[in-house]
Chain A
Amino acid sequence: MRPFVYEQPTDISAAVAIASRFTTEDDQPTRANVQFIAGGTNLADYMKLGVAEPNRLVDLNRLKDPGLRQIRVTDDGIRFGALVRMGEAADHAELKRGYPVIADSLRLAASGQIRNMASLAGNVLQRTRCEYFRETSWHCNKRVPGSGCAAMEGFNRQHAVLGGSDACIATYHGDFAQALIALDAVVRAEGSRGARKIPLAKLHRQPRDTPEIETDLAADEIITAIEVPAVPWARRSLYLKIRDRESYAFALASAAVALDLDGDNVREARIALGGVATVPWRAKAAEEALQGKTLDEVSAGAAADAAFAGAEPRQHNAFKIELGKRTLVRALLETRDMKV
C-alpha cells in the first residue's frame, strides 16, 4: 500500500478547500490525487488493490454539521444527510412504512457489517466491482483510459446489457440509487464553485468513450444531502433483488418499483433497474407502457419488453435480458398485490 496524507477537517468548507488546493478543474473525481472518504468500504478496498492511488485522503467523518447525520421525513419528502449509515436508514421506521422501496434497497445490500460503516452518499458513488477493473493487471478503460477492455470478450456474466459502450460494460452494482432514481431524488453538493442541486438521474454518466468519467461531480465537490420529494403512494413500492445466493451478493437483476393505482389500473408507475446497466437505470419506456393500463402479467410483460428494448448482450450476460424482464414483471405484480 502506498503512503498517503490523511486529513480530518471539521467543516465542509475546509474539506472543499483541501480538495480544491490539490486538484484542478480537469481532474476527474475518481482519478484525482485527493479522495474524500466516509465509510471507506469501497475506497479502502480499492486502495489496497492498487485500483485507487490517491496520495491524500480527506476524511469526512469529523464534519460537525449535524444535518449530515440526520434523516428527516416530512410532508415534503425525505432528506438524508450524506453521512447517515446505510444500516440506520434501512431500519428507519418511517421509511419502512412510507417508502419501502428505499428501505428494502438498503436492507438487501451488502452485509450488516458493511451497512454499519457505509455512508449513503458514498453508497450512491460506489464504483463498479467489474473483476477486470478490480485487478490492475487486466486492461481496463475505466482504470487506465485507452488501455482497452478485457471484459468485453472475457468473462462478462455480471456485466451490463443496458447503457454500455464499446469502451466499457461495467455494471453499476448499487441498490439504493435505483430506489432513489425511481422517486426523482436530488442530491445536494458543495464545491469550490458553491452549492448546487443535481437530479440523481443526472449524477451518473454512461461510459460512452470516457468510462473514467463516472459522475457529474467535480473533484472538490462533496455530496451533503440526498432529497426525495414526497410521493404519498410510494407506500406501494418495493425493491426486488435477484442474485446467486440469498444474501451478500450483487444483483444479477433488480427492480425498484412504485405504483399509483386506481384499482388495478396504473395512474403512474415509477421503475428503475439494477444489476443490468452501467448506471442507475430509470426505465421510462416501461413506465409509459403501463400508464393507464390494467396491471396484469400481460401488461407487465409488455412494460418489461419496453424496458429492455435497447439491451445489448455479450457472451456470458445474455440471460440478464430475460432475467431482467422477469424480475420487473414479478416486481410489478408483487407491488400491485401489496396491502397498503
Chain B
Amino acid sequence: MDTAAPRPKENQGQPLPRVDARLKVTGQAHYPADLPTANIAYGALATSSIAKGKVAKLNLDDARAVPGLLDIVTYGDMDTVEKPKFGNSGATSIGPLHDRTIFHDGQIIALAVAETFEAAEEAAQLIRAEYDAETPTASFDSPGAATIPAAGKSPLFKEDVKAGDFDAAYREAAVKIDVRYSTPTQHHNPIELFSTTAFWEGDQLIVHEPSQNVTGWKVELARQLKIDPAKVRIVSPFIGGAFGSKGPMTPRTAIVAVAARRLGRPVRCVTSRMQAFGTQTYRAETRHRIRIGAGKDGRITAFAHEGWEVTSRPDSYVVGGTSATGRMYAYGSVLTHVSLVQADRNTPGYMRSPPETPYVYALENAMDEMAVALGMDPVEFRRINEPKTEPIGKKPFSSRSLIQCYDQAAEAFGWAKRDPKVGAMRDGDWLVGMGCATAIYPTAVAPCAARVRLTVDGDVRLQCGSHEIGTGVRTVAGQMASERLGVSIDRISVEMGDSSLPPAPVSGGSISTASVCSAVLKACDAIRAKLYAGATAEGGPLAGSHNEELDLADGKIVAKGGASAKVEDVLKTMQVGAIEEYAEFAPKGATPEALKKLYAGMPEFHGGEQDEDSVKYAFGAEFVEVRINRYTREIRVPRIVGAFAAGRIMNTRTARSQLMGGMIWGIGQALHEATEVDSRYARYVNRDLQDYLVPVNADIKDLQVILVPEVDHAVNPAGVKGLGELGNVGTAAAVASAVYHATGKRIRDLPIRIEQLLA
C-alpha cells in the first residue's frame, strides 16, 4: 500500500493495478487509429474559415492535382444519406456537407482522400473556398445573440426548480449578496486525437473510432446511412481520454463511412488538434447571477441562481446545473432560471461534470462570499446549512457524507491553522491564501447487459459493450467478477469497446462503474446459483447444503461448516465445460421499455434527482492553498486536499486516480484553461496546446485524496456512486476562495489570471 494504492477502508475494494496497465505503458494497447487495417487510404478535412454565411464556390483543382489524391467528398456527395441528429448519440444537427450554409467556425467543407496521410493533408490545405460571408454572433454580448428560456428545450432539463417565496425571504434577509460570475469556453483536448477509420465488408460497415457510446453510435450511424443497425459495428477498444468529447458522434463519422464506400477501401481520417476545436463539441461559456439571503445566525433563507449558457443556432444544448445547486443546502426558499443564448457557434457538448463544473463554481464562490459577509468560517457556514432533506422536493438524501468530508479534509489540510484575516498569512514575498469548496455530483445508473463465462479450467471471460476511457472500468468490472466468482483477477479477461458485445449505456454521467458492475454482479450471481444448484444437488459434493450457507473463494465452493468443493469438480458433476450467463440489469424504477431502449442506444438514466424515494448524490470537500507573489502576482497552488464519499469504492487505486485527475483539472479550470473567441469573427484563436493552457506537472505539488467510507444500498445493487466527475467540481471555487483570502480580491470570472490581481 502506498499513496497511489490507498489501503481500503470500510466498503472499499482492493487497489488492484489496472488489468491493462502493462499494455498501456508498453505501447501495446491499440487505440482505434492504431488498429491495423490493410490497404488503407487517408482522409484529411478541409474546414471553414468563417463562422456564418454560405460557401459560394469551392475550388478543388489544386487539390485534385496533388499526386496520390483519390477522392474529395464534399457538397452533393452526402445527399443520399440522412443529416445527423442532435441528441443522445449525435453531437449536432448540422450536416456540414448537406448544404452550403456555414453555421460556425471550422465547419467541415470537404474531406480529401489520398494514398498517403501527407498527400491528403496537402490536398485538404489546397481546397479553397469562396464565401458569401455574413457578420456572425460570437457570444453573450454580440449583436444578434438570441436569449430563450432553457426549461423544456432539452429532455435533460425539464424545468427551473424552485421552492417557497424567494422574493419575500430575500427582501427580509438580514445579510444578503447579489453577485455575478462567469466561466469561459473550454475544449476537452484529450491526448488521443479524434479519428474515424471506416471500411465495408460487403454491406457490413466497420468503424474504428474512439467512442464513449458504441451502441448509440451504431444505431445513429445506421440511421444516417439508411442501413440496418445490425450491419454496423463500432470498435473502440481503448480510448486515450474522452471527458465527454467522445460521447456524441460528430458528422465526420458518416462522411468517412461514405468516402470508404465510394472508394471501396478503408479510409482513416485523424483530425488535427486545431481542427478538433471546430469539429468536436466543447464546454460553452456560462454566466451566473446568484443571490443569497441569510439571518445573522448564518441560516440561509433565500437562494436564487440564474444561469446563461451559449449554444448553437440550430441545437438547444442545455447543462442547467441549477438542478444540483438548488438542492445543495438547506436554503429555505429557492428560485432558479436558466437561459440559452444562441450564437453562430458549433453545438456545445458534454465536458466532465457538464452542469456542475460551471454552476457549482458560481454557487461555492457565492457561499464563500456569503461567509465573509456574515463574518463566519466558510466550513462552519456550510455546516449550519446542512439539510435534512433537499429543499425542492423535500426528499431525503440516499446518503450524504458532506460534513464527514469537510471534517476529514480540514484535519488533513490543517484548516485550524488558517488565520481568517485577509492578507494576514505570508511567506517572504509570497502572500498565502487558503480556501475551500464543496464538490457534488448526481449518482445515476442506467440499464446494462453483460455476458460472463466461467470455464472448467477456472478462466473467466467477461464481455460488456462499455468503454475504457481511462477510468479503469475494465479493471473494476473484472474485480466484481473476481469477488463474486472467487477467481483471481489474472484469470479474468475483460472485453469492452465493441458494439457487437452486450450493450452498455454511454460512458457518461459517471454511471459506468455502477451500471456495469450491477450487470456483472447479476451475471455472476446467476453463475453462482447454477454452481450451487450443481453442488447441492442429490449426489453433488455439497448435497444438502443451503445456498445462503455457501460462498465462492479460490476456485472452490465453501460451505459454512467448512466443507468445500472445487468449482472444476462441480462442473464435471454437472457435465458442462463452462457456465455462461447473459445478464440484463435494469435499475429500480426502470420503465418497461428500459431494456429495449438500451439496445436502441437510448439508455434511461435513473437516480440523481429523479427517483421517488430519495435524491442521490456523491459529495466531497476540497481545500486549497495558494501563493501569490507580492510583486508579480502569479498564482501557484502548493497544496490541495480533497475528501470524497461515493458509496462502495470498487478499487481505491483507480478511484484515487480519477479524483486526483479531477482536482488537477479543477486547478486548470481555476487558473489556466480558456478557449479565446475572437468576437469580431466568432472564431477560436488559441486552437492548440501552445496557447490553450492546462496544468503541467510543475503546477501540481502536494495533492492528497481522502476516500471517506460510505455505505449506500439505495443507489444500485453494486452500492457504487460514480466519482469520475466529482473531483473537478468545486475546485475552482476553492482556488478563488484562497485567492480572496490571500489578496482581498474576489475574482468572479474564470480563469483567474495575473492581470486580475495587478490592479
Cβ B691 vs Cβ A245 within 8 A: no
B155-168 contact mask (Cβ, 8 Å, vs A): 1 or 0:
00000000000000
A246/B629 in contact, CB under 8 A: no
The answer on a CB contact under 8 Å between B685 and A155 is yes
- List the one stretch of A31-39, A55-63, A141-149, A322-330 in contact with chain B: A322-330
**Nearest opposing residue in chain B for A158, CB measure:** B691
Q: A271 on the interface (CB 8 Å rule)?
A: no
Write the nearest CB–CB distance from A295 to chain B, whole angstroms: 15
Decide if A292 is an interface residue (CB 8 Å cutoff).
no
A249 at interface, CB cutoff 8 A: yes
Q: Which residue of A lies closest to B631 (CB)?
A: A330
Asked if B613 CB lies within 8 Å of chain A CBs, one says no
Q: Is the CB of B274 within 8 A of A246?
A: no
Report B596-640 residues with CB < 8 Å from chain A CB: 629, 631-634, 636
- B753: which A residues are within 8 A, CB to CB? 244
Kindly state whether residue A102 has any CB partner on chain B within 8 Å.
no
In A229-249, which residues have CB < 8 Å from any B CB?
240, 242-249
Closest residue of A by beta carbon distance from B756:
A319
Interface string of A122-150 (1 = CB under 8 A from B): 00000001011011010000000000001
Q: How far is the CA of A33 from the CA of B677 in the complex (A)?
A: 34
Q: What residue in chain B is nearest A150 (Cβ atoms)? A: B678
Closest-CB distance, A236 to chain B (whole angstroms): 19
- Interface presence of B419 (CB below 8 A): no
Question: Are B680 and A327 touching (Cβ within 8 A)?
Answer: no
Q: B-facing mask of A151-191, CB < 8 A → 1, else 0? A: 00111011000000000000000000000000000000000
Contact pattern, B 101-128, Cβ under 8 Å of A = 1, otherwise 0: 0000000000000000010011001000
Query: Does B687 sit within 8 A of A, measured CB to CB?
Result: yes
Residues of B within 8 A of A155 (CB): 676-678, 685-686
Interface residues in B, total, Cβ within 8 A: 36
Chain B residues whose C-beta falls within 8 Å of the C-beta of A253 in the assembled complex = 632
What residues of chain B lie closer than 8 Å to A129, measured between beta carbons?
A: 690-691
Cβ-neighbour of B671 out of A134, A245, A322 (below 8 A): A245
CA distance A247 to B701 in the complex (A): 13
CB pair A154 B758 closer than 8 Å? no
Q: Is B88 an interface residue (CB 8 A)?
A: no
- A1 at interface by CB-CB < 8 Å: yes
How many Å lie between the Cα of A227 and that of B685 in the bound state?
38
* Given A50-B125, A245-B699, A329 and B631 contact (CB-CB distance below 8 Å): yes
Asked if B118 and A1 make an inter-chain contact with CB atoms under 8 angstroms apart, the answer reads: yes
Taking a contact as CB atoms under 8 Å apart, the answer to whether B691 and A243 are in contact is no
Which residues in A have their C-beta under 8 angstroms from that of B631?
326-327, 329-330
A121: B residues at CB distance < 8 A: none
Q: Is the CB of B758 within 8 A of A245?
A: no
A15 at interface by CB-CB < 8 Å: no
B65, CB-defined interface residue at 8 Å: no
Q: Flag B690-702 by CB within 8 Å of A: 1 or 0 each.
A: 1101011111000
- Nearest B residue to A334, CB-CB: B429
A303 to chain B, nearest CB (A): 14
> Given A129-B690, A247-B698, are A154 and B672 neighbors across the interface (CB < 8 Å)?
no
List A contacts of B691 (CB < 8 A): 129, 131, 158
Contact of A2 among B122, B636, B699 (CB under 8 A): B122
A residues less than 8 Å from B697 (CB atoms): 247
Q: Check A223 for interface membership: any CB of B closer than 8 A.
A: no
3 A-B pairs closest in CB distance: A319-B755, A137-B49, A246-B698
Interface, chain B (partner A; CB < 8 A): 49, 118, 121-122, 125, 274, 429, 629, 631-634, 636, 671-672, 676-678, 680, 685-688, 690-691, 693, 695-699, 753-755, 758-759
Interface residues of A (CB under 8 A from B): 1-3, 49-50, 129, 131-132, 134-135, 137, 150, 153-155, 157-158, 240, 242-249, 252-253, 319, 322-323, 326-327, 329-330
27 contacts between A and B (CB under 8 A): A1-B121, A50-B125, A134-B690, A150-B678, A154-B680, A154-B685, A155-B678, A158-B691, A240-B632, A242-B632, A245-B698, A246-B698, A247-B698, A247-B699, A248-B696, A249-B693, A253-B632, A319-B754, A319-B758, A322-B759, A323-B633, A323-B755, A323-B758, A326-B758, A327-B632, A330-B429, A330-B632
